[in-house]
């Protein structure tokens, strides 16, 4: 999964750094580029070869969205397409493995930021630094969520989807600093302690969140539903998420 994310990242950056690329609009009005499609083809082929008996759900293959299994792989080959189109850099490759509704393994790679996060076999989450060679794992550091100061919280929110409802919820907290980031990087910023809480009051799909969720969980964090603070589960009909909150458990959550 790590190697496929790196290979997909190379393909994405090749297109990102080109003079121009085609942007199409999908049926749900979201953009899709040739980078999404090229990364999807590469990752899908690699995962199907490595896990032939495991259901693969991927954003770019609509026929997979009606299939269900207790254990499945779920992929967003280019999360943050708007960031990609506007050349803002905050886009990621997301690959996750879900067991009985829980994302247990995940890889999040931000190729333009050269940041790579993933879970290990023992469940811990790490960030790999350095050259990020495909066939050789470099230096890794175990990441852990913050010990949050509830009088001075660090908040991260969506860059492309921030709205009044999000701001109203954030305003329930004592906030020292609030920043915006695109894609599943927000989960990773909470996982490393660079942020304490990421509330999402807006539409997401499971392929947007599963890999970041796994990384955050491996770093000691939690992801819960916005409405009742129960754990966010996976394998739902249509793979659509409710609103949610990703956070360090040291944050005292406010009611919606």
Residue-level pLDDT at 81:
87
Distance CA(68)–CA(64), nearest Å, equals 9
Question: How many distinct helices (H) and strands (E) make up the chain?
Answer: 6, 16
Q: What integer pLDDT is reported at residue 92 of this predicted model?
A: 97
Q: What is the DSSP letter of 231?
A: B
| Residues in the chain with pLDDT values less than 70 | 29
Q: Are strands 175-181 and 153-158 parallel, antiparallel or unpaired?
A: parallel
| Pairing status of strand 102-110 against strand 115-119 | antiparallel
pLDDT value, residue 31: 78
DSSP assignments along 184-198, one per residue: THHHHHHHTTS-SEE
According to DSSP, the residues that pair with 40 across neighbouring strands are: none
| pLDDT attached to residue 131 | 92
**How far lies 82's CA from each of 78, 160, 238, in Å?**
10, 7, 22
Q: What is the pLDDT of residue 120?
A: 97
Write the pLDDT tens digit of every residue in 162-172. 789 999 999 99
Note whether 65 and 89 are within 8 A (CB). no
The pLDDT score that the predictor gives to residue 214 is 98
Write out the two tokens for 183: 């894609």
Q: What is residue 25's predicted lDDT score, i.e. its pLDDT?
A: 82
Asked whether the beta carbons of 117 and 188 are under 8 A apart, the reply is yes
Specify binding-site residues.
59, 76, 78-81, 208
What span, in angstroms and rounded, lies between the C-alpha atoms of 124 and 160?
A: 30
DSSP string, 41-104: HHHHHHHHHH-TTSEEEETT-GGGGG---SEEEEEEEEE-HHHHHTT-S--EEEEEEEETTEEE
Q: Binding site for Mg(2+): which residues?
A: 59, 76, 78-79, 208
pTM: 0.95
Domains defined for the chain, CATH in brackets = 2-142 (3.30.540.10), 153-247 (3.40.190.80)
Known binding residues for substrate: 59, 78-81, 208
């Amino acid at each position: 999964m790590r190697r496929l994310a790196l290979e997909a990242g190379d393909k994405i950056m090749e297109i990102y750094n080109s003079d121009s690329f085609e942007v199409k609009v999908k049926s749900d009005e979201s953009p899709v580029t040739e980078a999404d499609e090229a990364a999807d083809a590469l990752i899908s082929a690699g995962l199907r070869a490595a896990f032939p008996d495991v259901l693969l759900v991927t954003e770019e293959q609509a026929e997979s969205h009606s299939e269900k299994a207790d254990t499945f792989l779920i992929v967003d080959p280019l999360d943050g397409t708007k960031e990609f189109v506007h050349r803002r850099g905050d886009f990621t490759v997301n690959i996750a493995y879900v067991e009985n509704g829980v994302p247990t393994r995940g890889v999040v790679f931000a190729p333009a930021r050269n940041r790579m996060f993933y879970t290990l076999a023992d469940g811990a989450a790490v960030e790999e630094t350095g050259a990020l060679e495909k066939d050789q794992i470099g230096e890794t550091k175990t990441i852990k969520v913050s010990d949050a100061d509830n009088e001075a919280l660090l908040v991260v929110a969506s860059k492309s989807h921030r709205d009044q409802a999000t701001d109203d919820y954030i305003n329930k907290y004592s906030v020292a600093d609030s920043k915006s980031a695109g894609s599943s990087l927000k989960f990773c910023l909470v996982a490393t302690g660079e942020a304490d809480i990421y509330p999402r009051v807006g539409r997401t799909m499971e392929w947007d969140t599963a890999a970041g969720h796994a990384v955050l969980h491996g770093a000691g964090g939690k992801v819960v539903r916005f409405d009742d603070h129960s754990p966010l589960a996976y394998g739902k009909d249509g793979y659509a998420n409710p609103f949610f909150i990703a956070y360090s458990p040291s944050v005292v959550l406010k009611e919606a």
